[in-house]
Structure 1
């Protein structure tokens, strides 16, 4: 270690310490710790059953970037090998994140989230990358190492890296698609009709029949359901729920798979002629969680809900819960609700979060009167289809197309900037191979085509030129900026 490095060593320690202190302040302040009953490893694992909002994801990545930056600077001053530096930064970021998340168990105002571990670790790694791009000496040494490495002398190895680059792109595309499945459904929630479990989101109206199946029905099948709901009897094992509200007391699932629906709140006389009447004083809830239903839908990632409902008020809000599989106002598997005269639908997926509310689905002018309406809602591979009374009154949405613009830009940046870095490495390896390098440059376009192709074929979303160009821009922009940085440093040297 030379004199300059010895002089800077205390500053490196200080930067690392400040970064760690900032993490603790941002994630644990005001430090109002309290005791936790039955603290054990199983309880710790169960307490991580939470998800992050989009804003939290961004904040968690940004929060750990200074830590990765300062650690990279500190480790470089110790002359530790680059590969070991990467491993140490990742382990340090993950360890600090895990420490914070476990401590949050003791904070009533905080909730530990598994996604935070990934986002924090990613933030630390991006900070590390940021340091090596910012630091001229480190960046120049890295470029020279790549250009003169033994891998640059072998066409076979370069081709292998390129195939690996495309394979990583395919894996990322499949990961995108997996964000619309229903694998994160919680099996501990009950089925509630006319309210939330906590009793604070009541709906006023009548409901006469409910069917739920773990299969998305086709348009032809839905047409038959709308003509005669007894068509569900033909679905066999796919039919999970059938409650018919033409009696005065407890309501047994006719498939005999789910618990009874029991009245909550104040009792009321029901004549059963229009179904059951629900209000803020009385609603229905299963006597136990609908575990089998949630498990089966989680496995198939498909669901069809059919209900005959009649709103007593066209201006209910909350949204007022008509049908809900949920624990409270912040955790649910799905909800069919009324917001004014609109139909509000929420479904839990990795991209919509544990409350199903990260992406809004609101269909106006459904509850414009107090007449009975037959609602049929299907979900499969990210596509939601809603039918009201007939096949002509239909609506279709794709979750991936509902992602807000700024959120989509952020996700595309996280996807394609790392690919742009990988493509830069490939172009540096092929610098002396003119024809072969042209093939490598096709890596600007191919990742965007792969992602868009996978999402169109697997989720049924529309092909988007804007998304294609955005992916190309991030990939090419990252590569061009890095190559420009390398050229600039060489000219100065």
Structure 2
């Protein structure tokens, strides 16, 4: 046998054995990852079938918190699966686009399966947000694979650069247009982060506590009015100037209670259930125009305020007007003054007291099921034991709190108050995929130097400008240069890391 032929066969044999070894390693990693996910999400496997479960109960079973630490852990948990599955597909010479699709679909399918099974595990709580975070974790595993296996990614880039499309300005322009369209698509979840469509209609309205009786407040309350629209400043001015006489004729009014006389306290609009006393049965003077609330005795609607929650869910706006007096300027918890909630961890909104500060929680995809992921506080509202009339409006991401008069105004924007570590995480979810796309796109345009020099900075800067511009327009927030920089950092950073690993960094 000729020597050259012998060496070629020997090389092919070694390559085959190497590929078989790689297949085995990646297959083991995929299997191990699946088992790790199952154990981490379903242990201790104490499955129990409910006697009967309605569609509403099934939906409510997914109404659970997704705390920030859980979100990070859910991304990390699926990293090995994405890494191993990408390696397996790479040895099968699957195209990059099919690798991405397969990794995301496999991650989403596994995540959806375990979330559904968690319904049958009493010690577990399924959360829809986990499916998205798990899917992104798998995708991030794919990127990690190509950072680790730079030669595979280099081969992909080389094929893109040598393709026929790389010689066509029209095709490159078409792909860049697709990149911009993808940017707009990725802003859609951001636009939905502050709406109220996720409000749960099965919660009662409570004054002075939680349903679980563990967040009691002590003080007096004389009236409560709620609308499904955000009042303008002129409308709020009328509320303050009418001596606490809220305009009952307002078309948007969906609940109106005054606490004069004996319970039950009826909704003057006739739309909501009565308030009834809960806790200790004690005798107290209820003939004045206010009632005394304590941790031992509080008010709760006889049934859930379903129509109220559903009405606000549709408009994603509300106005709450109330007059109250704290009897203790150092109540904590925060102590629940008015709460539309199920327990200490799930709510639609809560007005509370933390020391002398007013605390407000409103449930959105951004703030979570407990509405505590973004802190909304007004200091020193309860620094004294005097009556305070409070009007709260919410529209888009803007929460406005008026205390006693139109001049004492506090404006809070949910998007401006996202903690740094969470903002870093959310921007990573948005811009890391764009960084991968830009790495491929700039490689495609590399031969068209003039076009390339324009497209590279545009591809880095435009996504961040588009997201910030849309959020400013939709939410009324102010432009934040730090947000612009963070988006640019993730897009450019991901692209440069991938290309630097292949020895093909930008010059």
> TM (normalized to structure 2)?
0.91
Shift of 1:234: 4.8
- Matched with 1:166 is 180
Give unmatched runs, 5+ long, in structure 1: none
Q: 215, 226, 234: which is aligned to 1:201?
A: 215
Deviations 1:135-163 (A, max 9, x none): 13321221012112232232222212222
- Asked if 1:413 corresponds to 2:425, the answer is no
Q: Are positions 1:318 and 2:333 aligned together?
A: yes
Output one character per residue of 1:202-221: Cα deviation in whole Å (capped at 9) or x when no partner.
Answer: 21111111110111112222
Give 2:342's aligned residue.
Answer: 327
Q: Pairwise mapping of residues 285-434 of structure 1 onto structure 2 (< 5 A)?
A: 285-434=300-449
How many angstroms apart in 1 are the aligned matches of 2:215 and 2:500? 57
- Aligned residues of 1:170 and 1:451 also touching (Cα < 8 A): yes
Q: Secondary structure at the match of 1:392?
A: coil
1:88 aligns with 2:90: no
Q: How many Å apart are 1:365 and its aligned residue?
A: 0.9
- Per mean C-alpha deviation after superposition, the further-off stretch among 16-25 and 453-462 is 16-25
Q: CA deviation at 1:415?
A: 1.3
The match for 2:484 among 468, 480, 483 is 468
Distance change >3 Å, CA 71–CA 463, structure 1 → 2: same
The alignment status of 1:189 with 2:203, answered yes or no, reads yes
Q: Deviations over 1:93-152 (max 9, x none)?
A: 223212322332233321011111111122112212321332133212210121122322
Aligned to 2:138: 124
Alignment partner, residue 450 of structure 1: 466
Q: Is 1:52–2:94 an aligned residue pair?
A: no
Counterparts of 1:163 and 1:371 in 2: how far apart (Å)?
A: 60
Displacement after TM superposition at 1:269 (Å): 3.0
**Cα gap change, 1:259/1:436 in structure 2, threshold over 3 Å: closer, same or farther?**
same
Distance 1:83 1:424, change over 3 A: closer
SS of the aligned residue for 1:487 comes to: coil
Give the distance between the partners of 1:346 and 1:181, measured in 2 at CA.
14
| 1:147 paired to 2:126 | no
- Distance in 2 separating the partners of 1:472 and 1:164: 19
Aligned residue pairs, count: 489
In 2, distance between residues paired with 1:130 and 1:345? 40
- Aligned residues of 1:51 and 1:114 also touching (Cα < 8 A): no
Q: What is the CA distance between 1:309 and its match in structure 2?
A: 0.3
Q: Distance in 2 between matches of 1:489 and 1:276?
A: 70
Answering whether residue 5 of structure 2 is matched by residue 5 of structure 1, we say no
- Measure the CA separation in 1 of the matches of 2:339 and 2:97: 50
Q: How far, CA to CA, are the matches of 1:187 and 1:202 in structure 2?
A: 23
Q: 3-state DSSP class of the match of 2:502?
A: helix
| Residue matched to 1:110 | 124
In the TM superposition, what whole-angstrom CA distance separates every residue of 1:467-486 from its partner, at most 9, and x where no partner exists? 11111122222222233233
Matched, 1:177 2:186: no
Residue 378 of structure 1: how far off its partner (Å): 0.9
1:312: how far off? 1.6
Tell me how far apart the structure 1 counterparts of residues 385 and 64 of structure 2 sit (CA, whole Å): 38
* 8 Å Cα contact 1:206-1:274 kept in structure 2: no
Name the SS of the counterpart of 2:443 in structure 1: helix
Q: CA RMSD in A?
A: 2.1
Task: State how far apart, in whole Å, the 1-side matches of 2:96 and 2:445 are.
Answer: 22
Alignment CA distance shift 1:456-1:370 (3 Å): same
1:66 aligns with 2:80: yes
Does the CA-based 8 Å contact 2:347-2:369 persist in structure 1?
yes
Task: Give the distance between the partners of 2:429 and 2:81, measured in 1 at CA.
Answer: 19
Change (3 A) 1:249 1:7: closer
For 2:358 and 2:57, the matched residues in 1 are separated by 37
Residues in 2 aligned to 1:439 and 1:408: alpha-carbon distance in whole angstroms? 29
Q: Distance in 1 between matches of 2:55 and 2:245?
A: 48
Distance 2:276 2:316 in 1: 28
Shift of 1:436: 1.4
How far apart are residue 245 of structure 1 and its match?
A: 1.0
